[in-house]
Structures are given as structure tokens and as C-alpha cells.
Homo-oligomer: A and B are copies of this chain.
Amino acid sequence: MSPPPTRIGYLGPPGSFAHEAVRGLPGEHVAAASVAAALAAVRAGEVDAALVPFENSIEGSVAGTLDELGELSAAPLHIAAEVLLSVHFALLGRPGTTLDSVTTVATHPHAEAQCRVWLAAHLPGAEVVLAASTSTAARDVAAGRYDAAVGSPAAKAVYGLAVLQPDVADSPGAVTRFVLVRRPGPPPAPTGADRTTLVLYERDDHPGVLLEMLTEFALRGVNLTRLESRPTGAGLGRYCFSLDCDGHLADARVGEALVALRRICAEVRFCGSYPRADGAQAFVRPGVADADFAAAQGWLASLRTLGQ
């Protein structure tokens, strides 16, 4: 893997979940106002990389991140690493605030969606105000604009708030996957526990194209771990596909699948091969290991030149 970046953007302001996640990465951490701003700073070379949320086990994918990575009119970006963060939503207020005095609660729409039942049950009379991020909401609470915020416990120290209630998520155990995004460069070396992210654009919108794409993976024993359709902007019913698969572009089975997709798709946007945060080794079924490809290709080369 290339040397660790020294300036890393993250979805701020400080006290966000992204801030909590970026702490494990060495370097200087620079808050950005939005995912778009964080990735624009990477593209412009203002930071070496940016850590942005990619998907959440409850709320699903972060559309803005997916769309920025797949946008064909923008410079390509690659994922170089991923970070998993267990998400604990706390209700934060200024010190001294009591639950029954809360009349306004600010938070990000994703957090609101994950704590809706708790808020309705415990703060039925409070107005819920949406904010650009949970840390913006905490900052606004510190500034006295709202009574409470739903956000990361990390925001407590940043903004001098108190935790009014520690775990207010409707479903415990939520996990957010963040990805470290940088400008393209030689990929990190394969580890045996890698993931590859792609965005595929269909050549035509005929029935069966997605089936054909999936078959290219399946035949080569490449397991998909995520598949999302996203609108291309060309009209309802026109989609591209954002996906993750097991393995690394240096693996023979992944490389041949990429070649196949490149042949059948209008466009393949490669978004990086990188180590899985959970370290799970890819299952490589018999016949698709690098050695199997090498042996078969050697056989073919000999047939082509010598006839046997």
C-alpha cells in the first residue's frame, strides 16, 4: 500500500461520526462541509484523501457518495481503505437540560430515520429539525438554537454538551462503513481479504443486461457483497449499478471479470481494490484461483504455438 496520506478530509464538522471514524487513521484531519466538498478537495489536491460514509446497515447506501464515485464527468477517485464504525446515537443537550424541557431536536435525516420511534415515544411533543450533519446539529445546540441534538457521543466533548440519553437508536447494532477515497494511483497490494468497488453503465436498456453482468461474476466465482442501482439522470428507469465484489483487481478471476464487463458495458468506472476492514478472506472455489488461470493459460499458449 502506498504511504499513508498526511492530510485527510472527513465529513465534518468536528464531532461527527466521520470524525470518530477518522481518528484511527494517522495524519492531519480536515473537516469538510459535505461529502461533495470532501471529495472535491481530494480531486483538487487540497487533501491527500477523504474519509466519507458509504453505507449504513440500517439506512443503506449514502447516495451522494455513490454518485460522486460513479460520476463519469468528474475525475475518477479510488477507495484505498474502509473503516467500520459501530454507530451509537446519543441525545445531546447543553449541560443542565432535562428531557422534559426539550421542545426542539436537531439531527441529520439518516439519524432521524434511525431514531424516529424513540423520539416519538419519549419526546412526542418536540419538533424535529433536520440538519446537514449530526455535528452541525450539535453545534447548533451548543449555540442555543435548538434544545437537543441526536448525534455521536463524540460531539459531547467537541461542543461541551451533556449526554441526555446515551442510546436512542430504534435498532441497536447499526454499523456505518466509511471509505477512504484518494486520487487514482497504483492499487494497494492484494491481501487475500480484499474488496473491489465498481460502477457499471449498461450499453442498452434491454432485458437481461444485468443478468449478463452478474453471470460474468458468477462464472468466475467472484462473490458480490453489495449491488445498488442508481439513476443515471437520463430519465426514470435509466440506471447504473454500483457494486462491491470480493477480491482484488490483481486476482486473475477479478481481472478477467473486469475485462468481460469492459467489453459488454458502455462504461466501467473502477473505484478501487482495497483490504476489507473485517479481514474476511475471500472464498476461492476450485478452478478460479490464480494458479488455475495460469495453468490453463499456459496450456492454451502451448496449443496455439505447438499444437499441444
Interface-lining segment among A13-21, A88-96, A204-212: A204-212
The answer to whether A296 and B262 touch (CB under 8 A), given A60-B63, A185-B307, is yes
Chain B's nearest CB lies how many Å from the CB of A131? Answer: 6
Name the B residues within 8 Å of A239 (CB-CB). Answer: 226-227
8 Å CB contact of A210 from B224, B256, B308: B224
Name the B residues within 8 Å of A128 (CB-CB). Answer: 132
* Chain A interface residue count, Cβ-Cβ cutoff 8 angstroms: 82
Name the B residues within 8 Å of A63 (CB-CB). Answer: 59-60, 113
Main secondary structure, interface of A, reads: mixed
The answer to whether A224 and B207 touch (CB under 8 A), given A78-B307, A259-B300, is yes
Asked if A167 is at the interface of the complex by the 8 Å CB criterion, the answer is no
Asked if A281 is at the interface of the complex by the 8 Å CB criterion, the answer is no
Interface-lining segment among A44-52, A147-155, A228-236: A228-236
Complex: A255 Cα to B300 Cα, angstroms = 7
Chain B's nearest CB lies how many Å from the CB of A247? Answer: 12
8 Å CB contact of A231 from B55, B270, B299, B305: B55
Contact A256 B255 (CB under 8 A): no
Asked if A25 is at the interface of the complex by the 8 Å CB criterion, the answer is no
- Contacts A130-B131, A173-B235, A250-B304 known; list 17 others, CB within 8 Å: A55-B231, A59-B63, A76-B308, A84-B236, A185-B307, A187-B304, A187-B307, A207-B218, A211-B211, A214-B214, A215-B215, A227-B239, A229-B229, A255-B304, A258-B303, A259-B299, A263-B296
A-B contact pairs, 24 of them (CB 8 A): A57-B233, A60-B229, A60-B231, A64-B113, A130-B130, A171-B233, A175-B236, A185-B306, A187-B304, A210-B227, A211-B218, A229-B229, A250-B304, A258-B300, A259-B296, A259-B299, A259-B300, A262-B296, A262-B299, A262-B300, A263-B287, A263-B288, A264-B287, A270-B303
